[in-house]
Structure 1
Amino acid sequence: MDKGVTMEILLTNDDGFFAPGLQTLFEVMVKSPEDTVSIVAPDSQRSASGHSITLFDPLFVTEHPLSGSGYGYAVRGTPSDCVKLAVEGGIVPKPDLVISGINQGPNLGTDIFYSGTVAAAMEGVLAGIPAIAASLASFDFTDFEPAARWLAKHVTNITARFSTGLLNVNFPGSPGDEWKGVRVTRLGRAVYENVFESRLDPHGRRYFWQGGTLIPETDPDTDVAAIHAGYVTVTPMHSDLTDYKKLEEWQGRGAGTFE
């Protein structure tokens, strides 16, 4: 998209409307005179909600004034609900770009299948709108401004070069001047040694608390390895999960495969 052309940008997330990552990104991006920025986000924490949508309950919406002018919308629903409502419900102008984040914590490797952040961005892609999922790969580092400024600086170039599909972007949990650069990566494998600790509640009912330790990724071409090396990672993604190699193999066997 050329400079000087107004772009409608939708911001959403899975950490909730008032999450500092989302609010920082809005404050940085709203300064651009060339873009109009809207917020439609969950009204509460919805991390790890995946790509779920709400079918059997109403989506209550609360307006909140935004700095400058206009309103943002907090939705009692999932991140994917928020994007569907924004695109199809007419509460904000139809976006030219969806940015989901900035998430507190990484969304790397196969963890993206659980991520509400990535799911919200992918919902934009399913509606034919390019999208970015953005995450700060730390739960302790809380300065979102370097990541927000990076996104604001590169959003026009990103939109021009990746006019379709989704970019999953992760930022190191460190000051911007300590980043080693940017790597375009593929998804790694986020493999955990999971532990399910059995406990009893005060009424004697048994429950489990899940935890896990991430096994380090050793392939340097992956997002998991690159983020740990101090790089911003950019991973192009799409919604087509078809295994084309297997598809050709099965098609080559002919119709008799299932007889």
Structure 2
Amino acid sequence: MAPQHLLAALREQNPLVQCITNYVAMNVAANVVLAAGASPAMVHASEEIAEFTPICGALTINIGTLSAPWAASMLAAANAANDKNIPWVLDPVAHFISTYRKGVAQDLLALRPTILRGNASEVLAMAGAMGAGKGADSGDSVDAAEDAARAIAKAHGSVVAVTGPVDFVTDGTQSAKVTGGSDIMPKVTALGCAQTALMGAYAATGPAFDAALATLAHYKVAGTMAAQQAKGPGSFQMHFLDALSAVQPDDLPNVILS
């Protein structure tokens, strides 16, 4: 399904997306999903998972501010999504910084997420390679993580999206790159985490590879638009939300390299 058709369908369907994300990202992620045209729900209590996850169009899991109760909810929600064939997206934020975090990330990966989204250092580490990540920031190039992304995709049946100055997405067989955006984007906290939430909205709307590609393209186009008006990181965030809403379906193919 072409990215432009996915964006049109997303805005028509307004899918409900369960976003189990971190404290830093909640507000930004909710606003990003709303601006793009979908409906976010920041529901993470384990007591609600059995009833809520099955009624969602997609689930997204971000381990940024991880704790034991949240990890239990994440695993329960991923299992519930799998039981109901609901697509879900995993964002293994800085999973290499502790044994505990790495274990939770690997437990979630074993549940075969529909899409894995991360920066190059996170993807390299998920594949068992040594990366140069510093906390949630990548110290590796997207190019360096391409083989790791393909390996994860083939091993787990997931689409893998590696984000950076030029994004890379693969299902292990086909792949594509997405250009554009702005170098201001990494200076605004939680935009990457919010992209995971938006990827869930697209995954609720169409096939996983197409959904990941459309999300990356939507972000790059909006980032380029916002940078034309922003004076710095603060104003960029405001203009970025406006741009996400202003992006039109026919804008998306212009930034995709097959």
Which one has the bigger helix percentage?
A: 2
- The TM-score, its normalising length taken from structure 2, stands at 0.34
Larger gyration radius, structure 1 or structure 2: 1
Larger % of strand: which? 1
Looking at both structures, which has the greater relative contact order when contacts are Cα pairs under 8 Å and sequence separation is at least 6?
2
Superposition TM-score, scaled by structure 1 size: 0.34
